[in-house]
Amino acid sequence: MRTGRWESALFEATAQGGWAVAHCQQQFLGDSNGVLFPRDWLKRQDLSVLSEHAVGHFDGEPVYLLEIDRPDSLEGASWIGLRQFMLEGEEDIFAMLGFASQIGIWWRQNRFCGSCGQPNLRMPRDRAMQCEACGIQRYPLLSPSMIVLVTRGDELLLARSPRFVPGVYSTLAGFVEPGESVEHCVAREVREEVGVEVTNIRYIGSQPWPFPHSLMFGYHAEYASGEIVMQPDEIEDARWFHIDDLPRLPAGRSIARYLIELYLARRAGRPDPVLPGA
């Protein structure tokens, strides 16, 4: 269980008071005081509120999510992308907003039953939507994925996608397919993306990744054989980097950066870094 200023919780959104965050398309409304607004005040503003959800507690105070239909303007405030909070914000704030974003997206995508098309209703004592017509329940979605650092002694195999920030290289990643273990996914994705075979696949740790609803399982693997052959349209560049000559690396709070920093620390005999959010 996560400890700190933020704790997720399920409770009824009936009482008055508390804090609220406004979410729309992985953006949050913020002003000079931050992203937590007095709930009763925020609900009186001219915002296109679709739904309200109790999501947890921050510093012991209840926090509610207002899911907004479109990024309405509010005097003195602006919409800020979730990734900016990951890069620049406080860890507990990012954890709170990451959870709230996933709940908002889940609710948006499950307002109607995917089987019969009838409206879904929120279940009163569970974080779930249910179709009264056919009884199907929809819980918040998690998509398991793996991310792996492949090493060869003092060399790290890093790659970049065309979607990355210019100059940034990262570890390899991919989604787990039905019927396969995460370890099988590691070997398959490395083979598909860069044409390399790996061995000694070892689990390191996990991290929720709210872009929008992944659970990342982090691994370390050692090079076994093969030459780098990049997967078209997926990998823009991939190469071996010496630990003393690394490129621009991914964001410090990402599990990708943690896998790299962990290997560098162990290679140098330093204490292990702490996985963000652990």
pLDDT tens digits, one per residue of 7-50: 999 988 877 899 999 999 999 999 999 999 999 999 999 999 99
Backbone region of residue 137 per phi and psi (left: phi > 0; alpha: psi in -120 to 50; beta: other values): beta
Q: Does domain 6-109 sit in CATH 3.90.79.20?
A: yes
Kindly tell me the sign of the dihedral angle through the C-alpha atoms of 8, 100, 146, 144: positive
Do the Cβ atoms of 57 and 7 come closer than 8 Å? yes
Residue range 232-255, pLDDT digits in tens:
989 999 999 999 999 999 988 899
The yes-or-no verdict on residue 2 having pLDDT over 50 is no
Return the residue matching tokens 């479109």.
70
Distances 213 to 2, 3, 89, 98, 142 between C-alpha atoms, Å: 18, 21, 20, 9, 5
Share of the chain above pLDDT 90, in %: 87
Query: Is the backbone of residue 153 left (phi > 0), alpha (psi -120 to 50) or beta?
Result: left
Rounded CA separation 190/150 (Å): 9
Distance CA 10, CA 62 (A): 10
Mean pLDDT of 44-69: 96
Residue-wise pLDDT for 89-114, tens only, equals 788 999 999 999 999 999 999 999 99
Q: In the numeric block, which tokens belong to residue 159?
A: 């790659």
CB atoms < 10 A from the CB of 46, how many? 8
Given a cut of 50, whether residue 1 has pLDDT beyond it is no
Paired tokens of 6? 């933020």
Domain residue ranges in the chain: 6-109, 143-268
CB atoms under 10 Å from CB of 180, counted, come to 12
Question: Given this chain, do its domains 6-109 and 143-268 carry the same CATH topology?
Answer: yes
Has residue 3 got a pLDDT over 60? no
% of the chain residues with pLDDT over 70: 98
Question: Are 82 and 210 within 8 A, CB to CB?
Answer: yes
Q: Does the predicted TM-score (pTM) go above 0.75?
A: yes
Domain covering 143-268: architecture: Alpha-Beta Complex (3.90)
Whole-number Å distance between alpha carbons of 169 and 162: 11
- Residue 268 has a pLDDT of 95
pLDDT for res 278:
66
β-pair partners for 157:
150, 240
User: What pLDDT score was predicted for residue 16?
Assistant: 87
Q: Which residue's structure tokens are 């950066």?
A: 257
Question: Does 4 have pLDDT greater than 80?
Answer: no
Distances 15 to 5, 125, 128, 187 between C-alpha atoms, Å: 22, 16, 21, 50
